[in-house]
Amino acid sequence: MNKLYIIGTFDTKGPELDYAATVARAAGAAVTTVDVSTTATHAAADFGPAAVAACHPDGASAVLGLTDRGAAVNAMAEALTRFLASREDIAGVMGLGGSGNTALVTHAMRALPIGVPKLMLSTVASGNTAPYVGPNDIAMMYSVVDIAGLNRVSRRVIGNAVHAAVGMATLAAPESAADKPAVGMTMFGVTTPCVTRIREQLEAEYDIAVFHATGTGGQSMEKLAESGFLTGMIDVTTTEVPDHLFGGVFPCTDDRFGAAIRTRLPYVGSVGAVDMVNFGAMDTVPERYRGRTLYVHNEQVTLMRTTPGESRDIGRFIVERLNRMDGPTAFLLPLKGVSAIDAAGQPFHDPAADEALFETIRAGFVAGPRRRLVELDLHINDPAFAEAVVDAYHSLLA
């Protein structure tokens, strides 16, 4: 029987973790307890700190006995990530604790595939949970009182959290025989006409999942690809790259495009909305950018036009990763503009900046039997460009 893993620091939260395990077993779950304390403990967890720490790439000594608590927690988080990856009987994972334990356990949770139940009962779950959750399906539950002793409040809250975790771990979501192959797509407001046309042409044969390219959106698409939910990606909106490179509010990470590299799934991409860096309201735009071409998208979003130099940096970031894609890959360049406000007559129309982007990708691209670059004398929102994307995706499957 697969098991619910209950994880925490038994040196400071032993009674609470034992209570959680007792409630879970009473609810019918098989339970494995894991102690991720970074100090000496004699708790009777199924796996103690030494067993977890031994999974660190540099061995247990890189985790246990460190005098710097922050360094020890970070090292234990890496060890726990590898420990969980080695287990083949996980039905779900539940953590409970304060800020340190929340950071530690959710670090490991984020490495688990989408669909594996994950619940974190935490003292910090009522604030900004984005750093803990990221693009993953982690349920965060606020503990109300500190997890520092059992009382009438903590028993009820821990019990409710345990029953939620047990339910997720023991009651599998039903599969549908009608499910079609799933394809992920990225979209922004300024690429919506393109993505809408692609979706309309493909949704009869594919289950289309569209992701808003707001930093987390691209990460979510790639996480689902690596979790086995997607059969391919149509990544026409890569606007998170300039935000990552130049300090925008919707950034990707250095691992953008990593899922396509590692999974080798069919991948069609483009440069949608890379003509802009996204900021918040006008008064949040960094002082060094105040003299640039700015466009108020709405009162909460201000866009900055990228320069030719920045466009070359964007092109280098993208093409370096394209050249590492060994799966079926097509990348399309819309030579008449990459967003709704980059077309002729629009505020971000800048042929020199666009050409710097295109030329950088063109010059750096290494074609291969399964990897090709396609240049089209079209705007990204032209209907013919959407048709070309659909044709390219179909050709990758032939």
pLDDT at 65: 81
* Closest by CA position to 47, among listed 68, 73, 76, 16: 76
Residue 106 tokens, joined:
């959710």
pLDDT at 193: 97
- Report the alpha-carbon distance of residue 252 to residue 240 in Å, rounded: 5
* pTM for the model: 0.83
pLDDT at 43: 75
Q: Count the helix, strand and coil residues of the chain and give each as a percent rounded to the nearest 5.
A: 40, 20, 40
Q: Mean pLDDT in runs of 10 for the chain (398 residues)?
A: 93 94 97 92 87 95 89 96 97 95 96 96 94 94 94 96 96 77 96 97 95 95 95 98 97 97 98 97 94 92 97 98 98 98 96 98 96 98 98 96
* Contact (CB, 8 A) for 164 and 141: yes
- Report the alpha-carbon distance of residue 184 to residue 393 in Å, rounded: 12
* Contact (CB, 8 A) for 49 and 183: no
pLDDT at 48: 94
pLDDT at 67: 86
Beta bridge partners of 34: 7, 47
Residue 80 tokens, joined:
């726990």
Long-range CB contacts for residues 147-150, cutoff 8 Å, separation at least 24: 147/13, 147/16, 147/96, 147/97, 147/98, 147/121, 147/123, 149/15, 149/16, 150/15, 150/16, 150/19
**CA dihedral for 6, 9, 11, 17, sign (positive or negative):** negative
* Contact (CB, 8 A) for 94 and 87: no
